C-alpha cells in the first residue's frame, strides 16, 4: 500500500517555476509591452483548445506569423454558439451529452477568444 504524507507550502512552492516577468505597473508603454509580449504569447499557447494545436496563438498574432508556430492551417473563428445546446428530436442520452460537451467547448472557445481580443486591443491602443 502506498503511504501518503503531507508537504509543506514552502517545499511545494519551490517546485513551481519562478515568474519570468515583472508585472507592468502603472500605465503600459512601449518599453514595457515588448518585454511582456513573449510572456503573453506563451500564455496563449498554454490554452489547449480544439481549434489549434498551438493553443490560442492564432488570436494574438497575424496569420502570416502563425506559420512560424505550426504548419497546420490558420483556424477559422466560429460565431457565438447560442444560448443553449440544440438537440435533434428522438436522440438518445449519449448523443445529447455529446452535443452538450461540444456546446460547452464552443462556448468556452468563443469566450476565451473574445477575452484575448480585448487584451490585444488594449496592447494595440497603447502603441
For residue 75, what is its C-alpha cell? 483556424
Q: 29 and 126 in contact (C-beta within 8 Å)?
A: yes
Does residue 89 lie within any of the structural domains?
yes
pLDDT tens digits, 11-39: 766 765 565 556 666 666 666 666 666 76
In a domain, 33, yes or no: yes
> Does 117 reside within a domain?
yes
- Whole-structure pTM value: 0.56
pLDDT by residue (tens digit) across 48-83? Answer: 666 566 777 777 777 777 777 778 888 888 889 999
Q: Is 7 within the bounds of a domain?
A: no
Give residue 106's Cα distance to chain centre: 13
In a domain, 10, yes or no: no
Number of domains in the chain: 1
Res 100: pLDDT = 92
Residue 13 lies in a domain: no
Q: 68 is in which domain, residue-wise?
A: 29-125
8 found inside a domain: no
Residue 80 lies in a domain: yes
Amino acid at each position: 500500500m502506498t503511504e501518503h504524507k503531507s508537504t509543506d507550502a514552502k517545499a511545494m512552492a519551490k517546485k513551481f517555476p519562478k515568474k519570468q516577468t515583472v508585472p507592468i505597473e502603472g500605465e503600459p508603454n512601449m518599453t514595457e509591452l515588448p518585454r511582456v509580449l513573449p510572456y503573453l504569447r506563451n500564455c496563449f499557447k498554454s490554452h489547449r483548445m480544439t481549434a489549434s494545436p498551438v493553443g490560442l496563438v492564432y488570436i494574438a498574432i497575424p496569420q502570416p506569423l502563425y506559420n512560424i508556430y505550426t504548419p497546420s492551417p490558420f483556424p477559422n473563428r466560429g460565431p457565438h454558439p447560442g444560448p443553449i445546446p440544440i438537440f435533434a428530436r428522438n436522440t438518445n442520452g449519449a448523443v445529447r451529452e455529446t452535443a452538450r460537451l461540444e456546446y460547452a467547448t464552443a462556448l468556452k472557445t468563443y469566450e476565451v477568444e473574445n477575452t484575448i481580443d480585448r487584451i490585444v486591443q488594449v496592447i494595440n491602443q497603447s502603441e
